[in-house]
Structure 1
């Protein structure tokens, strides 16, 4: 039921995103244009200007949300998410470095993936002390995220004027100006990573039983965790290649789905992806049409929602730690 409701909401948002704009279109004409039917002018407006932005938001939102769900489940920590643990900062660093080198836009997803993996390596080097401590990883991740964000800001400032605008999304997160080249390159890779995430669901279910039980069932726990971590990093990095470091989606959506749908299953993982797509696409529509300031990137909307959410989670996490110490 919840999955069907999410699909209906997503379809409504998709219709709004291709119909609303400087040249408003009727919903049926917009959907026909999305399919390449109807008036040639409508097809041009929808397919060349509105659809790439919409598809980028849908794919990136789904990828970020599923990545957050994987990390939170693996580390059993509600604060574990790509934007908190430095992965999106690393993806932004890789993408901006590629832009600074003057490389093709088609290589941006690969550079973002490399940057996300770099962040994961830094996280492991500085956060691993005789095993994985979730609290330590979150704190180190915040430091890695801050450092890589500072490096991105430095490169943006040092860019020539004509490149600074194209790199601006990597400081706030935006789907403005997405092209089909970028969408196909990163989007196809996100779809593959999403498929890998669903294939790993059974291993995650076994890991939920604990290391001893998982080992007794024949699962190599270290290898399984590495597979989940690489999949989550790939999802977040490739999503960031489309949008930049969009906050809140990966952190909050898994919590919302758990609250509404209960314990994690393959179905709730699919619902998480749909909810992430709905949230990011809705936030982009709010940024475009409902705020008094025009031209705001979607990352401003999601960060405004995410800051108080992160504060509440950190307070709850601190309270639970204090109670366990007592």
Structure 2
């Protein structure tokens, strides 16, 4: 008699699927880390003063020629750190908002949150406040934009799709207000505020980076802590409530965490588009359904994409001084049109 292979049970098959997804997510995360390391090396070594990787690394830790140390530590390293943190923060915020609103177009740049953060930063800059307080203004502006959007939704009972459209209007209005203030600024302040019109990493300093970096790290940790509640909310409000989760409180906590992430990222870069909108979709396509591992991969991918876009701006485009938001917006505009078209196209139901 020949032995027949055992048939997998229904319980074993989901375990196999989860195991395959974990392996795929781990492999993609390792690949993203390798790409991130390569891009970071390019960022530290290229420019008007080209450096070898060993010289750049020594300069990063304060060793070697004083000129090399100054270039790496004061110019290149702050810009690199700002790109990594802002990219990770925006991508993670987009992933949380899309799951929270169950809408693929929900993201901080579409719903007005980064516009509010930019508005708060520019208002604080106009008062002559210290650069270290810019993250406070950005967070306040982002929360105000979220409250404004929530007030529209509560008063009019907007559906989620229409809420996104209202968010686009809020984003456009706040961007116009920022542009108006920049035009009215004295010449010496207008240059400092330029990043909050399209998004830029130019001229980042440690004074600006440290405060936002520490707060972003805390917000990212909070999102990972809250990810289990987000997974329960994915089952639906009724099921989540039946499992003992306080649905309203969990939604509020996750919304505040996402707004905080997006606002602090905007404090470093201004209203950079596309990262928060597209990266969660790319990661879902490559790695599968959302898990804690895919959330980490989303942050890594966002950091890779923003840093790569900044390197394109610095070294590949013929025009000097372009903000990184120009590159991301060029990628993001057609992506947003595709998503809106897919949302508006009715699903064809097959007849039985």
Shorter-normalised TM range: over 0.9
Report the alpha carbon displacement of residue 212 of structure 1 after superposing the two structures with TM: 1.3
Aligned equivalent of 1:267: 293
> Within 5 A, what are the aligned runs for 1:152-301?
152-301=178-327
SS of residue matched to 1:200 = helix
**Does residue 105 of the first structure (1) align with residue 131 of the second (2)?**
yes
Question: Aligned equivalents of 1:272 and 1:35: distance in 2?
Answer: 29
Aligned-residue RMSD, C-alpha: 1.2
TM-score with structure 2 length normalisation? 0.90
Q: Deviations over 1:75-126 (max 9, x none)?
A: 1111000000000000000000011111110110000000000000110011
Q: Secondary structure at the match of 1:128?
A: helix
Matched, 1:37 2:60: no
Q: Are the structure 2 counterparts of residues 130 and 162 from structure 1 closer, same or farther at C-alpha, using a change threshold of 3 Å?
A: closer
**Deviation at residue 131 of structure 1 after TM alignment:** 5.6
Misfit runs of 4+, over 3 Å: 129-132
| Paired residues of 1:127 and 1:136 also in contact (CA < 8 A) | no
Q: C-alpha separation between the residues in 1 aligned to 2:182 and 2:156?
A: 38
Residue pair 1:128, 1:137 contacting (<8 A) in 2 also: no
User: Which residue does the alignment assign to 2:13?
Assistant: none
Count of residues in Structure 1 that have an aligned counterpart in Structure 2: 323
Aligned: 1:148 with 2:174: yes
More moved, 27-36 vs 55-64: 27-36
Which has the higher Rg, Structure 1 or Structure 2? Answer: 2
Q: Using the alignment, how far apart are the partners of 2:303 and 2:257 within structure 1?
A: 18
Q: Which runs of 5+ in 2 are unaligned?
A: 1-26
Asked if the contact 1:174/1:244 (under 8 Å) is kept, the reply is: yes
Greater Cα shift, 191-200 or 128-137:
128-137
Alignment of 1:3-42 (within 5 A): 3-42=29-68
